[in-house]
Amino acid sequence: MRNRKISFTVNNEKVTLHVRPYETLLETLRERLLLTGAKEACGLGSCGACTVIVNRKPVRSCLILTLEVEDAIIETIEGLKKNGNLHPLQKAFMEKGAVQCGFCTPGMIMTAKSLLDRNSRPNRSEIIEAISSNLCRCTGYKKIIEAVEDVCSKE
Ligand code: FES
Ligand code: FES
Residue 69: the pLDDT is 98
Q: What is the mean pLDDT of residues 124-149?
A: 96
Chain-wide mean pLDDT for the chain?
Answer: 96
Supply the pLDDT for residue 154.
74
Q: What is the pLDDT of residue 2?
A: 86
Residue 153 has pLDDT above 90, yes or no: no
Binding pocket residue ranges, ligand 2, CB within 6 Å: 99-105, 136-139
CB 54 within 8 A of CB 71: no
Residues 6+ apart with CB under 8 A from 16: 5, 6, 7
Tell me what pLDDT residue 155 has: 67
Is residue 3 very low, low, confident or very high in pLDDT (cuts 50, 70, 90)? very high
**Residue located nearest, by CA, to atom 3 of ligand 2:** 136
Atom of ligand 1 nearest to the CA of 42: 4
Protein residue with least CA distance to atom 4, ligand 2: 136
Q: How far apart are CA 83 and CA 102, in angstroms?
A: 23
Architecture of 88-154 per CATH? Answer: Orthogonal Bundle (1.10)
The hierarchical CATH code for the domain 4-79 is 3.10.20.30
Residue 67, SS3 per DSSP: helix
Q: Which of 100, 109, 145 to mutate to test the pocket of ligand 2 (most atoms within 8 A of CB)?
A: 100
Say if residues 41 and 102 touch (Cβ distance below 8 Å).
Answer: no
The pTM of this model reads: 0.96
pLDDT above 70 (res 138): yes
The domain ranges of the chain are 4-79, 88-154
Ligand 1: which residue has its CA nearest to atom 3? 45
How far is it, in rounded angstroms, from Cα 139 to Cα 102? 10
- Give the three-state DSSP class for 111: helix
Residues 6+ apart with CB under 8 A from 129: none
CA dihedral 102, 153, 145, 49 (to 10 degrees): -40
What pLDDT, in 10s, does the model give residues 40-88?
A: 999 999 999 999 999 999 999 999 999 999 999 999 999 999 999 999 9
Closest CA to 78 of 61, 95, 66, 63: 61
Q: Cα 83 from chain centroid?
A: 20
Are the C-beta atoms of residues 75 and 52 closer than 8 Å to each other? yes
